[in-house]
Structure formats: C-alpha cells, structure tokens
Amino acid sequence: MKPEEWKAVIAEGIGTALLVFGGISFVIIDFGPGSIVASYVPDAMVRRFVTGFLFGSVGCLITLSPLGRISGAHLNPAVTIAFFGRGLLPWRALFGYIIAQLAGATLGAGALAVWGSMGDSLREGITVPGHNVGTAFAGEAFVTFCLICVILLFTSHDRLKAYTPFMIPPLFSVLVGLEAPLSGCSANPARSFGPAVWSGIWTDHWLYWLAPVTGTFGALLVFALPVLQWLRTDIAKLYHFRHDETGFLRGQEQPASI
C-alpha cells in the first residue's frame, strides 16, 4: 500500500479503538454495579436508549474528527464490507481496514481495564445472546441491516449526506433500546471481538460475524434493486466527502461490485 493508504488504515484502527473504549465506557457507567446513572434512571429500557445515544455520539464525533477525515470512519467491518460491495473499495482496503478495526477494537477493549471491578463486572462489555441463538442472530442481522441501509441512504442522497454522522446517535438509541436484550446490539463484529479477546469469553462469537454480514448483504441486495439505482454513493466515507488522499476510497482500482 502507498503511504497515504497506510495513513488511512492506521487512522481507522485508532478510530475504532476510541469507539470501543468510549462506547463501552458508557455501557459500564450506565449499567455497572454502583452506577450513579441507575440511581437517577432506574428503568433499564430508558437507560438502554440513553446508552445507545451516547455510544452513537462517540461514533459521530470520531466521524467528524480528523481521524474520520482521513479514513472515512467506517469503524465497523460491516460498514467496510458494505462500501466494498457497492464498488467503492479495492481488496487491499477491505482487508486493511478490517484488520485495523480488529486491532483497534482489541486495544480499545484492553484500555477498559481502567474501570477496574466496575468494568470486570460486565466482562469488558462482551456481547452474548440474551435468550437463544436464533433470536440473537435475527436481532443482530436486523440491526445491522438497518444501520447499513441508513448509511447507504444518507451517503448517496445529496440532501442527506451532510447529516450522515448526526443520524448515528438517534439510530443507535432506538436500536440499542429495543434490541439489546436479544443480543447486546453489537451490529459490529469488531466491537464484539475486542472484549472477547480480553475476557476470554467466545460464547457464540461466530454469531456476531455471520449475522452482521447477513444483514449487510441484505442491505446491499435492497440497494441493488432497479428502483433504487438513482442512489449512488461516490466515496466510502461517512463525512468529509470531498477529502480523499488515497484515491482507494472512491473505488478507482477495480474493486468488486455487488
């Protein structure tokens, strides 16, 4: 890869580390033992809505930041796969970003040790099925489908694309508020991978890869429908659409297309 491409990959890894650390920190603050938030907001569903909004806000800020300007702030293998499927990334970007996301998520989850026993009580924010594997799989596939559909809609619509980062907090508020009891509402294989590394708990971890990929492919099939061909994303970024030091975020080197 070229130096500019390495820069984007490294920025993606750092961004994912910040997302995992910041987002799961809010989970710990809101749901850990002795949580002051729980004393003021005793209703668990309301706290899930708040936590989802705060988790999404971390992603929003990273997207708007210089890191997001450089990498496009995918922060999620499902998002990278979606952009790849839309013909916007070459193979080396697909693998480079996913490896960076996994490395970043592992570092971010490791940093959660600063929360001590409060973080340990939640196993560093691991995601495991809440009821059974079937409902967890369906839930993960559905929330990822919703996430990718909204991202592709916003980034391909001239009037909506500037608001792409700002739809993430309310979207995650709803998704986490409603779906988290089923699977933990990961919608992000890297977000599930990092905590699993440090906790050593890999219970049904395959689900947090296969279900998001299934949801992503479902979204790609929807956007491949003839009636939606007028919606075309021109760069694999969630913001800073005019900035592309690498060129490979615009699919200029024969990426795959679905």
Domain boundaries, the chain: 3-234
What is the structure's pLDDT at 255? 41
d(CA 127, CA 183): 7
d(CA 178, CA 189): 19
pLDDT in tens, 62-93: 999 999 999 999 999 999 999 999 999 999 99
Positions in the chain short of pLDDT 50: 254-258
Residues 6+ apart with CB under 8 A from 172: 52, 53, 55, 56, 59, 185
What is the structure's pLDDT at 257? 41
d(CA 85, CA 145): 14
Q: Alpha-carbon Rg of the chain, whole angstroms?
A: 17
What is the structure's pLDDT at 258? 45
DSSP string, 11-67: HHHHHHHHHHHHHHHHHHHHHSTT-HHHHH---HHHHHHHHHHHHHHHHHHHHHSHH
pLDDT in tens, 225-237: 999 989 988 999 9
d(CA 191, CA 104): 9
What is the structure's pLDDT at 252? 59
What is the structure's pLDDT at 253? 52
Q: How many helices (H) and strands (E) does the chain have?
A: 11, 0
Report the CATH architecture of 3-234. Up-down Bundle (1.20)
On the CB side of 226, how many CA atoms lie within 13 Å of its CA?
Answer: 0
Predicted TM-score (pTM) of this structure: 0.94
Cβ–Cβ under 8 Å, residues 149 and 219 = yes
